[in-house]
């Protein structure tokens, strides 16, 4: 479910953005072009404010993360029993419709970001410079073993916290929607306010994942 739904959402949203980019005009933009430009401009400004290195990868990576995580989170706004009912009609009796409520996906994304971060460290600082930073920061080479332990803990915490923050917030939100749906006729007065509040949550979680990625890339591209 996670692979299929996230893949389809990625194809749809990035295919649409590619189509808009291909038909972009320097004149008065249409509504869709204006919206895509606004999203890209927002992310690009965050990268310029946070990332001070030189890399052609960071802005596209940030845009990809923000847009993809947002649309996957937005699946939570579809009534929780709607897609499973449609799937049940064609013989699929279990469907997990929100990919970001699956820790396999959030950890896959966070580990990917972590690997890119390590790659950027090696590219910018070289193997020698990277190892020197690992063993010398923050207490100097005399406490190299302590520095190494601190660095390992810090680097392991990054993908774990990145993955669990997104998963935990989205899983909890989905559980609330399910509990509201079980109330039957009384669900409408509760579902609408929670859905409106959840729009803020899904946007914020996509933004936080993107911003932390930019921060990690910035840390990787600068000397301690």
| DSSP calls for 31-66 | HHHHHHHHHHHHHHHHHHHH--S--SSHHHHHHHHH
Alpha-carbon distances, residue 146 vs 6, 32, 121, 141, 215 (angstroms): 41, 53, 20, 10, 24
- The interaxial angle of helices 58-74 and 2-22, nearest 10 deg, is 120
Closest C-alpha to 160, from 106, 220, 211: 106
Residues assigned a catalytic role? 161, 165, 169
């Amino acid at each position: 479910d996670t692979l299929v739904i996230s893949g389809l959402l990625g194809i749809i949203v990035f295919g649409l953005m590619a189509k808009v980019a291909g038909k972009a005009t320097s004149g008065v933009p249409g509504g869709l072009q204006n919206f895509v430009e606004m999203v890209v401009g927002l992310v690009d400004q965050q990268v310029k404010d946070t990332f001070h290195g030189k890399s052609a990868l960071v802005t596209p990576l940030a845009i990809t993360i923000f847009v993809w995580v947002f649309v996957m989170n937005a699946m939570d706004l579809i009534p929780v029993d709607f897609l499973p009912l449609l799937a049940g009609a064609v013989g699929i009796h279990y469907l997990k419709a929100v990919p970001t409520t699956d820790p396999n996906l959030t950890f896959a994304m966070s580990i990917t970001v972590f690997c890119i971060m390590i790659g950027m460290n090696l590219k910018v600082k070289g193997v020698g410079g990277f190892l020197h930073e690992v063993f010398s920061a923050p207490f100097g080479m005399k406490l190299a073993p302590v520095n190494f332990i601190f660095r390992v803990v810090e680097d392991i915490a990054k993908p774990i916290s990145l993955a669990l923050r997104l998963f935990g917030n989205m899983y909890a939100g989905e559980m609330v929607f399910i509990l509201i749906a079980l109330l039957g006729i009384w669900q409408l007065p509760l579902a609408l306010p929670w859905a409106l509040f959840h729009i803020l949550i899904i946007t914020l979680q996509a933004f936080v994942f993107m911003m932390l990625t930019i921060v990690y890339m910035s840390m990787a591209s600068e000397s301690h």
